[in-house]
Structure 1
Amino acid sequence: MRRALIGGSLIAGLGVAVTLIALLAGGSSAQSFIKSHYSRIGVGTYRSPYPPAVVARQIVKKKKPYDRAYDPSGIFLRYRSEVVGILPDGRGSRITVEDPDRGYRHYHSYVGGRWGGYHGHISTFRGGGPGSGK
């Protein structure tokens, strides 16, 4: 009986540890990190007293993007379900979080050639014609 209790306790403790590791490993979205670390100034728009490069490092450290684009006008991070724009704003930064289509349209002049997809929509498709990549 005692062995069963100890074994059950170990399994339950292991389950809790795995859950905590999954939560701490970045299971949340970039937007949830941004919401909790920067001041909200509008719908999907936040403010940081730090310059764009510092803000981008902070966000990327917490949630790695699929792709990044750097431009003198700002830094753009592409995630599966959101696009983050980090733009200079005085001595700090303005951070926008948008869904992929809206983010692509908003920042097309900066990321269009890099992130453009079918009909100008953001795309993760990287395929070619017949026989390519086979």
Structure 2
Amino acid sequence: MKPRYWFLVAGLAAALALVIALVMIFSTGTGPRGYVHNHYTRAAHLDIRGDDDNRAYTSPDPVTRVVADITRKWRPQSQTTDASGVYLRYSDDAVIVQPRQRGSVIHVMDVDEAYRRYHGHVGHYWGWIGTHGESFRGRGPGAGK
């Protein structure tokens, strides 16, 4: 082969490696959703019906240990606990960890859907949820007009 073909072959190999690396990065997911997916057992039979974005997972560990594990890696914007479980709010997702007979069930869903579904548990703590998961804190008179 002539020297210029080596550059072509090397360029194609580099482009292929980049594509493979990007697929690997984005297929494993990042953030709390990807972390839960990679560290807990998927339990599709526990998904909440009617919510296509919801994913359920299980762990043999108690709720406190699961929450400590997740929050150690991904710090939530808000965390609320009551007798039914622990509710973690992130910018786009919510992670709900509840006790199960042996261990915990973990639901990962869109933060807006979690707010609607669990309003009785999180409404006074999460505040109003905007379209991107931000809390409304007020911006003064005339804001947004």
Amino acid at match of 2:31: S
Q: Give the direction of change, closer, same or farther, for the CA distance of 1:106–1:118 in structure 2 (3 Å limit).
A: closer
Structure 1 residue runs of 4+, over 6 Å off? none
Give CA-to-partner distance per residue, 1:50-96, whole Å, 9 cap, x none: 11111000000111111100111100100001011000011200000
For 1:130, what is the secondary structure of its paired residue? Answer: coil
Deviation for aligned residue 1:117:
1.1
Give CA-to-partner distance per residue, 1:85-118, whole Å, 9 cap, x none: 0000112000000101111112111001122317
Q: Which residue of 1 aligns with 2:116?
A: 105
Summarize the alignment of residues 89-104 of structure 1 with structure 2, pairs less than 5 Å apart. 89-104=100-115
Task: Extract unaligned runs of 5+ from structure 1.
Answer: 1-22
Amino acid at match of 2:107: T
Summarize the alignment of residues 55-70 of structure 1 with structure 2, pairs less than 5 Å apart. 55-70=66-81
Give CA-to-partner distance per residue, 1:28-52, whole Å, 9 cap, x none: 2101110111000015000000111
For 1:61, what is the secondary structure of its paired residue? Answer: helix
Q: Give the direction of change, closer, same or farther, for the CA distance of 1:130–1:106 in structure 2 (3 Å limit).
A: same
Number of matched pairs: 105
Amino acid at match of 2:66: V
> 2: distance between equivalents of 1:50 and 1:80?
26
> 2: distance between equivalents of 1:118 and 1:104?
7
Aligned counterpart for 2:63 among listed residues 52, 60, 78 = 52
For 1:35, what is the secondary structure of its paired residue? Answer: helix
Q: Which residue of 2 aligns with 1:40?
A: 42
Q: Which residue of 1 aligns with 2:4?
A: none
Amino acid at match of 1:29: G
> 2: distance between equivalents of 1:46 and 1:99?
15
Deviation for aligned residue 1:128:
5.1
1:76 aligns with 2:87: yes
Structure 2 length-normalised TM: 0.65
Q: Give the direction of change, closer, same or farther, for the CA distance of 1:61–1:34 in structure 2 (3 Å limit).
A: same
Structure 1 length-normalised TM: 0.70
Contact 2:41–2:59 (Cα < 8 Å) also in 1: yes
